[in-house]
Amino acid sequence: MKKNKAIFLDRDGVINNEESNYYIFRTEDFFLNEGLAEALKELSRRGYIFIVITNQGGISKNLYSSADVEKVHEKLNQLLAGFGVHLEEIYYCPHHSDEENCLCRKPKNLTIEKAIARFNIDREKSWLVGDRDTDIEAGKLSGLKTIKVKSNENMRFLSELIVD
């Protein structure tokens, strides 16, 4: 079976603007970064699938709940559907950095590995886009090509930077 080429995306700062709050957990604070949907639409035409991997340590700190995160993700899926863009899966780590038993918080790459197995992804043809060093580190651990963007910038350039 032919393997899929994928783009792994960090959420806050990459997909959505996080300038208003350190933690984004209200749907009314959730806005796509400029150019993001357009870039994904073009990349989807080129055959890429999309997986989101996000650290949501605010859950563990009881600042917000999994239900809040899921509502935000519903809004994300709706916004992208308006552009004809589909996300295969949104994975989130609910733990914070002091929790020793977490295997999913970036820079750990277990979640990326799970997605690679589940969606039959060709890591050599796949990319990770993040705005922090911990994102990039996780991508490199899984042998992905990586792109570090500036938080909240216009993401339209991604479809040009990502070469097949």
Binding site for Zn ion (CB under 5 A): 93, 95, 102, 104-105
Verify binding: residue 94, Mg ion, rule CB under 5 A. Answer: no
164 flagged as catalytic: no
C-beta of residue 99 within 8 angstroms of C-beta of residue 107? no
Kindly state the smallest distance separating residue 95's Cβ from Mg ion, in Å. 16
Whole-Å CA distances, 55 to 23, 33, 74, 85, 152? 11, 18, 17, 22, 17
- Residue 13 binding: pick among Mg ion, Zn ion, none (C-beta 5-8 Å cut-off by kind): Mg ion
- Between 80 and 94, CB nearer to Zn ion: 94
Rounded to whole angstroms, the Cα distance separating 164 from 49 reads 13
- Residue 95 binding target from Mg ion, Zn ion, none, CB below 5 to 8 Å by type: Zn ion
Residue 104 and residue 91 in contact, taking contact as beta carbons nearer than 8 Å: yes
In the list 6, 9, 12, 108, the residue contacting Mg ion (rule: CB under 5 A) is 12
User: Is 131 designated active site?
Assistant: no
Cβ nearer to Zn ion, comparing 28 with 100: 100
Q: DSSP string of 54-96?
A: EE-TTTTTTSS-HHHHHHHHHHHHHHHHTTT---SEEEEE---
Residue nearer to Mg ion on the CB measure, 54 or 142: 54
Say if CB 125 and CB 164 are below 8 A apart. yes
Name the binder of 131 from Mg ion, Zn ion, none, CB < 5-8 A by kind: Mg ion
Interaction site with Mg ion (CB under 5 A)? 10, 12-13, 131
Which residues have a catalytic role annotated? 10, 12
